[in-house]
Structures are given as structure tokens and as C-alpha cells.
Amino acid sequence: MNLEQYSVVLSAALVLLSITTIISILAFAFSRQARVKMQGVDYFVYIKLIGVLSILATIGALVYQFVYKTPVCEYCWWQRIFMFPIDVIVLVTVWKKIKFNEIIIGILAAIGSFFASVHYYFHVQVAIFDNILTMPCSGIGIIPSCTTNHVLIWGFITIPLMALTVFLVILWLVFLARYSTRKVL
């Protein structure tokens, strides 16, 4: 499987994940029955879902780096700094049956979302609108430029968008985990 095929598979999974999450959010917002069902789901189910997503994101990022030799820019490193620890936090949370670690996960996901959205903004400016941007990391030469885009699927999906989507879905699951710990009225 080459880089293009791998990216298309990940992009298709990303679109499916996005659609599922949007349906879940709409069901939560407009259906009391859905809210009751989501509240009835065990806290650790949501935490395990977060763990699966973060592990898949970690593996995906490492495959891009080590298998397809995609250079890692500064913003990618920042996104990794906030994604990779989620794997460990989830593992410890499930293993030790600790509740309320979703707060830590949520903080990491929120900060990671910020870096991913800024990075995606730069990619949109360069890849979609053909603007020329000069970033601080562009002139150093030690690390790749944050505006260089090695993956562009269907004209809008890039690696930062993949990361942003995973971070936002994790934030939604954090909300649901927190919501599931509330007392049922």
C-alpha cells in the first residue's frame, strides 16, 4: 500500500468517524431518549473508546513517519505531545479503575485541538487557497516547514485535519464520560 492509498483509507475512516459523531451529537441534543441511553453507558466504555481512538491516531502518525518517511514539522510534534500521553492515561485509568481522569484527557485534547486547527489553517491557506505563507519554522532548515503538505486527499483532508477530528471526537467522548457519571434523575 502506497502513501496515497493509506491516506485514502484513513480519510474514509475519518469521514465515517465524523458522520457517526455528528449523528451522536444531534441525537444527544434533540432526543431525551438518546441522552438517557448515553448516560446509561458505563464510564469506562467511553474511556476505552477514547483509548482506541488515541492509539489508532498514534499508530497512524508513526506509520506516516517511519513507514512512509513523511517529515514531521513543529506543529505535528506539538499535536503528538498532546495525543500520545492520552494512550498512557487511558491505560492507567482502565487498569486502576480511576474515575474523573477524563478531565486530564479533555485538557490534553483541547490543547491538541488548538495546535491541529492552527496547523490545518496554514495547510488550507497554502494547499487550497494557494497563498504563500512564511512560518517561523520555514526558514530554520532543521525541521520541515509547517506549511508543507505531504497529504491532501479529496482536496481538503490533511494530516492536521485528521488530528483535529480525532481530538474533537475525544472531547465529545470526554463529555459523554463525564455525563455518564451524573446521577440519573
- Each residue's pLDDT tens digit, 92-150: 999 999 988 999 999 999 999 999 998 888 877 776 676 666 655 555 555 655 556 66
Q: For the chain, where are the alpha helices, taking DSSP H only?
A: 3-30, 32-40, 43-62, 74-96, 102-123, 159-180
Asked whether the predicted pLDDT for residue 43 surpasses 80, the reply is yes
Q: Is 185 a domain residue?
A: no
Main-chain dihedrals φ then ψ at residue 172, nearest 5 degrees: -65, -45
Q: Quick one: pLDDT at residue 183?
A: 63
Q: Quick one: pLDDT at residue 121?
A: 84
CA distance 128 to 60: 24
When divided into structural domains, the chain yields a total of 1
Which has the closest alpha carbon to 174: 116, 110, 117?
110
Residue 185: pLDDT band (50, 70, 90) is very low
The predicted model scores a pTM of: 0.89
Which has the closest alpha carbon to 106: 170, 28, 177?
170
Q: Is 78 a domain residue?
A: yes
Q: Is 44 a domain residue?
A: yes
In terms of residue numbers, what domain contains 66? 3-180
Q: Is 77 a domain residue?
A: yes
Q: Is 75 a domain residue?
A: yes
